[in-house]
A and B are shown apart, each in its own frame.
Chain A
Amino acid sequence: MTKALLMDPTKCRGCRRCELACSFAKEGEFDYQLSRIHVVIPSDFTYPVQIVCQHCDVPLCLFACPVNAITKNNENGAVILDAEKCIGCLSCYIACPLGGISLHPVKKLPIKCDLCGGDPQCVAECPYEALVFVELTESLYPKKLESVEFTFKEFGKLLFARGA
């Protein structure tokens, strides 16, 4: 059985430690923009939206990539972007409906979560159990779907935040 990131926005308090942990692990500095995970806190402080690659069973980014820079590891389920192969066409970025792929603000290249080789630092730094990395059992599967559904819905709303 593979382990998966499981989000629980009802537990998230918006401290954004996950973002800092990610950028620190991946880029060696604290920079919200360089994080592969993003937390958007709604102005009325209902549930924060945790936006990160879900390592989908059907990864649209992978299908979109013209140079096979994205692969899915069949053993642990991780969807990995090979920066060496990437040509920066941003097809993956456009293809993901969950905002799971970020854009490097300077290089303008896609960056994404790689589960830190099985020890995701965002999970390690989350003090509220709003992000966990667990064996995706049959009983947890509906929870995973629920959280993805939440992100999908809320991410969509964010695109229209100005008019809300």
Chain B
Amino acid sequence: MFVANNKLLFIDLSTEKIKVQNIDEDLMKKYIGGPGIGWKLASEYIRPHLDPLHPESPIIISVGVLVGTLFPGSSKISAIHKSPVLATKDGKHFIDESTSGGRYFGPMLKAAGYDHLIITGKAERPVYIRINDEEVVISNAGDLWERGVEEVTDRFWKEKPNYGVIAIGKAGEKKVSYAMAVVDKTHSLGRAGLGAVMGSKNLKAIVVWGSKGIKIADPDRFKEISNKIKKRVLAWPFREQWLKLGMGAGWSTFKHTQYPGKWPKDKWERLYGEEKRLERADRIIACASCLIGCRIKWKIKEGEYAGEVGYGSPFGKSATSGQLLDVEDIDKMLHMVIVANAYGIDFYTATRLIDYVTTLYQQGRLTEKETGGLKLERTYETYMKLLEMIANREGFGEVLADGWVRLERDFNLDPQEYWYGGICKGVDFIYDARASRFHPLMMTFFTRPRPHHGGSHTITNTLGRTLDEIKENAIRMGIPSDAITRIFTDTPYSPKFNVGRYTKWMEDFMRVKNATGVCSMYTMFGLIDGIDIAEAYSAATGLKIDATELLRCGERISNLAKLLNVREGFTRTEDAPPETWFRPMDSPEGRIELMDYFGIKVLTKADVLKILGDYYEERGWDKKLGIPTRQKVMELELPDLGMSLI
């Protein structure tokens, strides 16, 4: 087969059994490839109701079909597994996919001859997996255990500078439910707690190197399409700013759309604005084949942490969490990101939990009785102490390491009262829909709670697009005309375009991007659309397919992923929009309420629920239960996973 290997490398850490399996090429016609087929494997390998940290809970890592080629931004891998983040008080866990770019891991796994990696079982002692083409070795990781992510990654890079490396830090080893797995030092498979799953398997790292090439069905055509997109991207007016700041670009928008509402905006600007970012951004790093580059190497130049460097994308997270925690020194927050990255812990979840409990302590609602004698003062020193305690599951950190729902369960606190972002299925959102407005990505937060780590971004993520632009882009995504009519029908609860209906297609498009390995940065800025991906996929694989048919496959993948979660007990009840959004944000800049994309109307909870209902309707699902119908499952030729659907 062209482009794809259609091979699965299966590793059982308990028995040390390693085998390579061929995957039926025809599956590409139904599931595109990469994590599309990954979900098919998930339906075979993930057993229902198994604890996410049970040895037999598998990790499925898949590489997008176009990864390793010159197609712009094609670097993405996805990890599918059951998330250790507790989603509900009665113990449900969501099965989800996190995605990551990188310079090496994706291209190297593919060059080693595999598209998928399934890891199951539990090693008796700390190990790492080393893959060099056909040679797969499970080795002792005793000397790497307890070491930080960067140190571990560097160790492998000393052996071979282009090893693909996925590593966990202490948080993963200690099974902190929101621990990340870090890819090639600068990227993460985050939010869904892959780090903890690796930790539960005693798996410190996976390193991979491969020597094989990738053949293209129609090389000339592929080059032509790639060149067309390259020309478009190089002419993109915002590219210059991205070349300077990577993901830290766009402060002028960021300061409004990700505003936590505590400080006046000019204060925030002074402490965390573009000037501060420019002084600290040292290098901008690109993923394999990327024309833009968004990762940042940053350097702290002065003060207590002078000389420290970090890798990733620190500016957004340090700015929002800095304001939430009332830390006025950006370098302190950048230092906190460096520490969190070494632990391999999700910075958003950790800092927001810390913000929550320290505030409750200040209000007298949490006392030393609950914290085990710990004084939770609102100081930087306490924040750093708590971060360390979480990563080590020490004292009160043990409770925080299990996230929001554990707090609810143990102390009868309602996470829905937390003031920024919003929480659904136990996961906190990185943006708040009141500041960002209710654009479609916000909706994917509560239908599938890790979208910013799932690549669903489309041009609607940026405010200020005209209705015509959105419509034109939706057509080029491949959305069929009848759905276009439905989406762009004005309703009293979703003015000008129906966010619920749009979201359905946006999620299916996300599946297309992840399956092909195309980065959503490009679709967020309208630089790559469905037609481009379909043309590139057809030229590369030799399978002729158009954008609409790709979306149909995307729909199939979305439904299969949903079915796996329905089997875990997830229904409409768990797709509840966060209460936070319906409480106006009283900021020094005035009152900020939840509004629609165009800022025409204040949205009530009833409005959002109607939008959610339209989402289910557009999906052809049962509106009351919020789950696929038997008819939908048959139409998509999916297995019913032993459930009797209506």
Q: A residues within 8 Å of B by Cβ?
A: 13-17, 20-21, 23-24, 27-34, 40-46, 105, 125, 127-128, 158, 161-162, 164
Contacts and interface: CB of A to CB of B under 8 A. Distances in A.
13 contacts: A13-B285, A15-B103, A16-B288, A17-B289, A20-B70, A29-B215, A31-B111, A31-B213, A41-B161, A43-B185, A45-B311, A127-B230, A128-B243
A164 B157 CA distance: 11
A105 B210 CA distance: 12
B223 A32 contact: no
A15, A28, A125: most-surrounded residue (chain B CB, <10 A):
A15
Contacts, number: 91
Given A40-B162, A45-B297, A127-B234, A27 B157 contact: no
A147 B439 CA distance: 48
B152 to A, nearest CB: 11
B631 interface: no
B61 interface: no
A45 B154 CA distance: 11
A32 B297 contact: no
Contact of A105 (B153, B211, B214): B211
A13 B297 CA distance: 11
B309 A44 contact: yes
Contact of B154 (A13, A14, A43): A43
Contacts of A23: 213
Nearest to B68: A30
B208 interface: no
Contacts of A162: 158-159
A28 to B, nearest CB: 6
Give the 3 A-B CB pairs with smallest separation, nearest first.
Answer: A31-B213, A13-B286, A15-B286
A20 B40 CA distance: 31
Contacts of A45: 186, 283, 285, 297, 311
B284 A27 contact: no
Nearest to A47: B283
Interface in B279-307: 283-291, 293, 297
Given A34-B213, A41-B103, A20 B293 contact: no
A23 B243 CA distance: 26
A146 B597 CA distance: 52
A40 B223 CA distance: 25
Contact of A31 (B103, B214, B311): B214
A33 to B, nearest CB: 6
Given A14-B286, A43-B185, A162-B158, A31 B69 contact: no
Contact of B288 (A15, A28, A42, A105): A15
Interface in B152-207: 153-154, 157-159, 161-162, 185-186
Size class of B's contact patch? 35 or more
B69 A20 contact: yes
Nearest to B155: A43
A27 B291 CA distance: 23
B270 interface: no
Given A13-B285, A43-B185, A162-B159, A32 B107 contact: yes
A161 B154 CA distance: 11
A14 B289 CA distance: 9
A163 B233 CA distance: 40
B555 to A, nearest CB: 30
Interface string B210-253: 01111110010001000000100110000000010000000000
A91 to B, nearest CB: 25
Interface string B603-630: 0000000000000000000000000000
B214 A16 contact: no
A17 B250 CA distance: 26
A117 B508 CA distance: 45
A42 B297 CA distance: 12
B112 to A, nearest CB: 12
B214 A43 contact: no
Contact of A30 (B214, B230, B243, B309): B214
Nearest to B282: A45
Contacts of B211: 33, 105
Nearest to B186: A45
Given A43-B153, A43-B157, A162-B159, A30 B69 contact: yes
A127 B291 contact: yes
Contact of B158 (A13, A20, A32, A164): A164
Interface string B51-72: 0000000000000000011100
Contacts of A164: 158
B285 A161 contact: no
B158 A30 contact: no
B213 A158 contact: no
B294 to A, nearest CB: 10
Contacts of B68: 20, 30
B497 to A, nearest CB: 34
A12 to B, nearest CB: 9
Contact of A16 (B158, B289, B311): B289
A108 B287 CA distance: 30
B161 A43 contact: yes
Contact of B293 (A13, A27, A28, A41): A13
A14 B103 contact: yes
B223 A24 contact: yes
Given A14-B103, A45-B297, A30 B70 contact: yes
